[in-house]
Chains A and B, each alone.
Chain A
Amino acid sequence: MVDFGGWDMPVQYSGVIDEHRTVRNAVGIFDVSHMGEIEIRGPEAARLANFATTNDAGKLTIGQAHYSGLLYDHGGFVDDILVHKVADDHFFLCVNAANQEKDFERIRSINRFDAQVEFASERYAQIAIQGPKARATVQKLTTVDLAAIRYYWFADGAVCGVPARIAHTGYTGEDGFEIYVAPAEAERVWAEATLAGAEFGIKPCGLGARNTLRLESAMALYGHEIDASISPLEAGLGWIVKWDKGDFAGREALLRQREAGVKRQLAGFEMRGRGIAREGYEALIDGAPAGWVTSGSPSPTLNKNIGLCYLPVEHAQPGRAIQVTIRNQPVDAVTVETPFYKRAK
């Protein structure tokens, strides 16, 4: 167990590699109740949601969700979040545990609309069920037709007889659901889901596998690929920035950055030499320090050592020979296309 933002979190149960492969091949269950929730309500909830975030919340249909950015005025990330449109006057945000207080303060500070911002983390526990057998597992626990919930849509209904928000979302690169329930019900939902998934070989999964799964899918992790000093344009997240939707917090700074040209960019890489790149290690171009590793790990699916790093933009395209300094030795690597792993649809 490790302390994670005040939560006592399991890093692993049966082992990171075993849990990782279970999610890729069958189904895994994660207790991600540490994740924070913020609700935006009121007649102008949509206007606030759209102003506070980079993606176009105005385009969301009721029951739809998307990935988005919450930025400072200077264009760096306060957090990366999921925005769910529950009703025209109600948006539900899932945010990172370690960022929830500053997210809440940030959204409140830019709220010049007729909307209320509620800190709702204590009202929700979250259980993620992920893997090719996730739907079959969750379907045993609910009468909601899960096949009718498209990817990045959600439905409110009962799971194990208790009110739940069932979102067809995830952080593993695999099909799956993230289920929000009242904290008092979480233990029972966990236990029943574990029973329901037993026929598929469900296993509990910890933070370790969550990290290797998201890394193979090249999904950003706050504090690694993104933070207050990094903009979405640098992080390869230009697709969550909707320029034409009207003003939003951080837009001006991003515009300036776009006009000036982005200087550094996130790139995926594979190790060619022996060794595993880790967060904070130096990335070299032609033997000279040029960037830094944000995440690195063995990839249990690909059986390679992979990572993400920031490089000068002119070197960030796939196929560039780079080196990573591992224990004072430069070790060869090459930039590659991301995601490293993509599931077959």
Chain B
Amino acid sequence: MYPENFRYTKEHEWILVEGDTGTIGITDHAQEELGDIVYVDVPKVGARVERGKSLGSVESVKAVSDVYSPVGGEVTAVNETLADAPETLNRDPHGAGWLVKVRLSAPAEILELMTAADYRKYVEAEK
């Protein structure tokens, strides 16, 4: 369910780091809690994001939720397909539903995030 090579936040984001770039999305648990996602708001390429600060929002039928950046850095790509198909976040949150790619300013920040095993326990405990 939760890929072993991802790291996770308490706010239910995930990040996959490859080289100096991290791909960020929301977890399967997050999409399930939110329900039908109808709108995704992400920053533009070139924007700076800060660890723990809002990098955008996802909106379900019910409500708007902030997405918090797991790391600091600069946005190098955004998932353009979500503008017309936000439901991708529900269908494939850990794959095609990725939100942004970020060039990490401090790669060591990753080590402070949860592993898949930690996150599984965290979600279980929240239920």
Q: Mark A155-178, 1 if CB is under 8 A from B, else 0.
A: 000000000000000000000000
Given A15-B35, A15-B36, A208-B35, A278–B64 Cβ distance below 8 Å?
Answer: yes
* Bound-complex Cα distance A276 to B39 (A): 8
Instruction: Write out the residue numbers on chain B whose beta carbons fall within 8 Å of the beta carbon of A15.
Output: 35-36
Q: Does residue A212 face the partner (Cβ distance < 8 Å to B)?
A: yes
A321 interface residue per 8 A CB criterion? no
CA distance in complex: A278, B38 (Å): 13
Q: How far apart are the CA atoms of A278 and B63 in the complex, in Å?
A: 8
Q: Is the interface of A mostly helix, strand, loop or mixed?
A: loop
> Contacts A208-B35, A276-B38, A276-B39 given: A16-B57 contact, CB under 8 Å?
no
Cross-chain pair count, CB within 8 angstroms: 34
The distance in angstroms between the C-alpha atoms of A11 and B32, with both chains bound, is: 12
- Chain B residue nearest in CB terms to A18: B36
| Contact yes or no, A17 B36, CB < 8 A | yes
- Determine whether the beta carbon of B35 is less than 8 Å from that of A12: yes
Q: Mark A191-229, 1 if CB is under 8 A from B, else 0.
A: 000000000000000001000100000000000000000
Q: Which residues of B contact A278 (CB under 8 A)?
A: 63-64
Q: How close is A198's CB to chain B, nearest CB, in angstroms? A: 24
Asked if A307 is at the interface (CB within 8 A of a chain B CB), the reply is no
The majority secondary structure among interface residues of chain B is: strand
What is the 8 Å Cβ interface bit string for chain A, positions 226-240, against chain B (1 contact, 0 not)? 000000000000000
Closest residue of chain A to B54, judged by CB? A327
Taking the complex as formed, is A291 at the interface, i.e. its CB lies under 8 A from any CB of chain B? no
- A312 lies within 8 A of chain B by Cβ: no
CB A192 to nearest CB in B, in angstroms, measures 28
Contacts of B33-60 to chain A: CB distance below 8 A: 35-36, 38-39, 41, 57, 59-60
Q: Give the docked Cα–Cα distance between A274 and B86 (Å).
A: 13
Q: Chain B residue with minimal CB distance to A211?
A: B62
Interface residues of A (CB under 8 A from B): 11-12, 15-18, 208, 212, 274-276, 278, 297-298, 300, 327
17 A-B residue pairs with CB within 8 Å: A11-B62, A15-B36, A16-B62, A17-B61, A18-B36, A208-B61, A212-B61, A274-B39, A276-B38, A276-B39, A278-B63, A297-B61, A297-B62, A298-B38, A298-B61, A327-B41, A327-B57
Q: How far is the CA of A327 from the CA of B59 in the complex (A)?
A: 12
Contacts of B39 in A (CB 8 A): 274-276, 298
Q: Write out the residue numbers on chain A whose beta carbons fall within 8 Å of the beta carbon of B64.
A: 276, 278
- Besides A16-B35, A17-B61, A276-B39, 9 more A-B contacts (Cβ < 8 Å) are A11-B35, A15-B36, A16-B61, A16-B62, A275-B39, A278-B64, A300-B61, A327-B41, A327-B57
- Please, which residue of chain B has its CB at the minimum distance from the CB of A208? B62
Inter-chain CA distance A18–B59, complex, in Å, is: 17
Q: Determine the distance from Cα of A274 to Cα of B41 in the docked complex, in whole angstroms.
A: 10
Q: Using an 8 Å CB-CB cutoff, how does the interface string of B89-122 with A read, 1 for contact, 0 for none?
A: 0000000000000000000000000000000000
Closest to A2 in B: B62
What residues of chain A lie closer than 8 Å to B38, measured between beta carbons?
Answer: 276, 298
